[in-house]
Every structure is written in C-alpha cells, then in structure tokens.
Amino acid sequence: MHATQHIQQRMSQRGVSRDMVELVLDHGRPEQNKYILGRKEASRRLELLQRESRLLKKVLDKGGVVVVADGDALITTYNYAPQHGKRRK
C-alpha cells in the first residue's frame, strides 16, 4: 500500500513505527476502511508467539524434528540427525 504524507506525519507525531503499521495490517481485524489491533487481540497474538517460541526451543534442543508423511497420513517422526560425511555408493 502507498503511505501518504499524512500518515507519515501522524506516525511521527504518535510514535507509531512502520513495522507497527505492517503488523496491524497483517494481524488486525478489518472493519470498513480500517484495520484494528486492540489490546486483547495483541495479547492473544503475543501468547501464541510465546507458545511457538517454547516449541521451537524444544525442537532446537532435539537438533531438529522430522515428520514422515504419505499423502495426508502421518507415518512416523524422529529427531533430526544430519549425516555428515555420508558415503555415496
């Protein structure tokens, strides 16, 4: 979207960064011709990100995780262990 001179001035006056505007556009609820990201929605989003952060840390502790699938069936899962120096025949 094109940022007008007006929004640039208001962002500067009100301490709203471009990243904040993009976050609201990405995750706010559209209502007529505006996007709203209120306290409750921001709090919910933060909780989801914190949960995802905890899960990613667990995956890192395992060195990664592999899930094997066939179509829509999940077959198995295991910790990822890359094969360094694997021989080729």
Q: Which residue has 């179509």 as its token pair?
A: 71
pTM over 0.85: no
Secondary element (H or E) of residue 74: strand 73-79
Per-residue pLDDT reduced to its tens digit, 53-84: 999 999 999 999 999 999 999 999 999 988 77
Q: What pLDDT, on the 0 to 100 scale, is given for residue 83?
A: 76
Helix or strand or coil: residue 79?
A: strand
Per-residue pLDDT reduced to its tens digit, 20-54: 999 999 999 999 999 999 999 999 999 999 999 99
Q: What pLDDT, on the 0 to 100 scale, is given for residue 47?
A: 98
DSSP state of 2: P
